[in-house]
Amino acid sequence: MHRPPHLPTKPVTSAVTAGRLTRRTVLKAGGTLLLSVLSPLPAAAAQILAVRVWPAADYTRVTLENDSDLKATHFIVPDPQRLVVDIEGLDLNPTLKGLVAKIASNDPYIKQVRVGQNRPNVVRLVFDLKEEIKPQVFTLAPVGAYKHRLIFDLYPITPVDPIAEMIEKGDWLRDPAAPVGKTELPATVVVRPELPAPVPVPVKPEPPVPARPAPVQKVARMITIALDPGHGGEDPGAIGASGSREKDIVLSIAKRLKFKLEELPNMRVMLTRDGDYFVPLGTRVDKARKVQADLFVSIHADAFVEPSARGSSVFVLSEKGASSSTARWLANKENLADAIGGVNLYGQDKQLASVLLDLSTTAQISDSLKLGKAVLSEIGGIARLHRGSVEQAGFAVLKAPDTPSILIETAFISNPEEEAKLKDNGYQDQIAAAIAKGIKSYFARNPPMAKSRTT
């Protein structure tokens, strides 16, 4: 057949064939795109957001806060003692380099730290140590205001003895509880050979007098009080509107209280922390038990959801639930301190922790209520009370089975007026004086029992 000249000489693809080609092209392009999406992308290095160092006599903690979970390995190198830490998935940045400047010259355990890029995506930290240490390296998931944290806790091989530390920081020449022996010196006999021997003179014998029994010597026993400033280190506690931190205020009040108590006869005081570092709840209780504390007084200045909340409170342990919704809320909040401050769960003796945090007795609660009433009465003379009676709740830090224990909320730091008072040195001194007076009043009505052994 004759083909018209205007028709193309090249064969024309049918519409069906063209559609198939178009779909094939699209499917091929889509498959390529899908493969590119599913293909693993180069992993972005984690970013160090902050570095913090918390030196203390008990241990030194180093914290690296970062935007993702990090994996670290560590080992000890002797002669000289060094702790080497390799952190994977990390590139050196200025924040991490700043760790070098954060090591203080008076750090008990760290001389200095060196930071470097050991190999691609691996940063190495080398801690030059002042003595042999037992390290704990662990991670913490995000909680509160914190992102992921990598923690290095450097403990001494021989743990700090709280009794020795307490006595070293006090001024006790002799513990009145120690056994009293004969301290009188024997009568001195002077022999004078140059004098002639005396001539005996007959003397009428005196009628025999029965010997009187020696008076019983009453020895006052040394009273040991454990003061527990709440929070510390990684855990700032509640923060007021002007930025004041609970951990700083309660430490200041505790130090003032320690001074006032030690002015009283036969009293010595142990602080569960005397600086800005974190102490787990169970360790606070354990420290008090190790020094055989007669009392345990935990000091706080908490916040509430409503800034209008105000007033001082005293709490004791409850076995049957909280005495109010506020008490329950505060107890739950305080019991989160371990999560905020950062406890190495793998390093804990879980059986011991269970005993410390679950065991309580009716006698302990009864004595705690007496102590709480005495202290609350004195605080009520200088401050407004949140409630007129001692409250009860399941505060973990009050669960020492053999020590009367109270928790004092000195005021609500979330209330602007009370925050201003808490920052005032004069008010801190008043609160400390009131607590000391309450403790003195308690012992006047409840003399301490004899201990099975002296401390």
Q: How many CB atoms lie within 10 A of CB 392?
A: 24
**Could you tell me the domains of the chain?**
48-156 (2.60.40.3500), 223-445 (3.40.630.40)
Lowest mean pLDDT among 152-161, 232-241, 303-312: 303-312
- pLDDT tens digits, one per residue of 139-149: 999 998 999 99
Task: Identify the pLDDT of residue 219.
Answer: 46
Highest mean pLDDT among 21-30, 190-199, 321-330, 388-397: 388-397
Task: Identify the pLDDT of residue 321.
Answer: 64
- Are 412 and 309 in contact by the 8 Å Cβ rule? The answer is yes
For 128-157, what is the mean pLDDT?
A: 94
d(CA 140, CA 280): 14
Task: Identify the pLDDT of residue 133.
Answer: 95
Task: Identify the pLDDT of residue 32.
Answer: 46
Task: Identify the pLDDT of residue 136.
Answer: 94
Does the pLDDT at position 207 exceed 80? no
Model-level pTM? Answer: 0.75
Question: SS3 helix, strand, coil % of the chain, rounded to 5?
Answer: 30, 25, 45
Task: Identify the pLDDT of residue 43.
Answer: 55
For 131-159, what is the mean pLDDT?
A: 93
Question: Quick check: helix, strand or coil at residue 166?
Answer: helix
Task: Identify the pLDDT of residue 88.
Answer: 93
Task: Identify the pLDDT of residue 176.
Answer: 38
Q: Can you state the angle between helices 362-379 and 425-445, rounded to 10 degrees?
A: 130
For 241-253, what is the mean pLDDT?
A: 96
At 379, list the tokens: 């605080």
Task: Identify the pLDDT of residue 302.
Answer: 85
For 219-233, what is the mean pLDDT?
A: 89
Binning pLDDT at 50, 70 and 90, where does residue 347 land? low
Lowest mean pLDDT among 30-34, 154-158, 300-304, 430-434: 30-34
Distance, first Cα to last Cα, the chain: 123
Q: In sequence order, what are the beta bridge partners of 154?
A: 60, 135
d(CA 184, CA 138): 59
Q: Which of 293, 324, 311 is nearest to 398 (CA)?
A: 293
Q: How many CB atoms lie within 10 A of CB 190?
A: 4
Task: Identify the pLDDT of residue 336.
Answer: 81
- pLDDT tens digits, one per residue of 34-87: 444 444 444 566 889 999 999 999 999 999 999 998 899 999 999 999 999 999
Does the pLDDT at position 197 exceed 80? no
Residue % of the chain over a pLDDT of 90: 55
Task: Identify the pLDDT of residue 442.
Answer: 96
Does the pLDDT at position 107 exceed 70? yes
Q: How many CB atoms lie within 10 A of CB 181?
A: 6
d(CA 87, CA 77): 17
d(CA 410, CA 310): 10
β 295-300/223-229 pair status:
parallel
Binning pLDDT at 50, 70 and 90, where does residue 263 land? very high
Does the pLDDT at position 21 exceed 50? no
For 4-32, what is the mean pLDDT?
A: 46
Does the pLDDT at position 89 exceed 70? yes
Does the pLDDT at position 355 exceed 60? no
d(CA 378, CA 292): 26
Residue 154: its H or E element: strand 148-156
Binning pLDDT at 50, 70 and 90, where does residue 308 land? confident
Q: For all residues of the chain together, what is the average pLDDT?
A: 80
Does the pLDDT at position 424 exceed 70? yes
Q: Which of 402, 396, 410 is nearest to 314 (CA)?
A: 410
- The size of the chain, in residues, is 455
Does the pLDDT at position 324 exceed 70? no
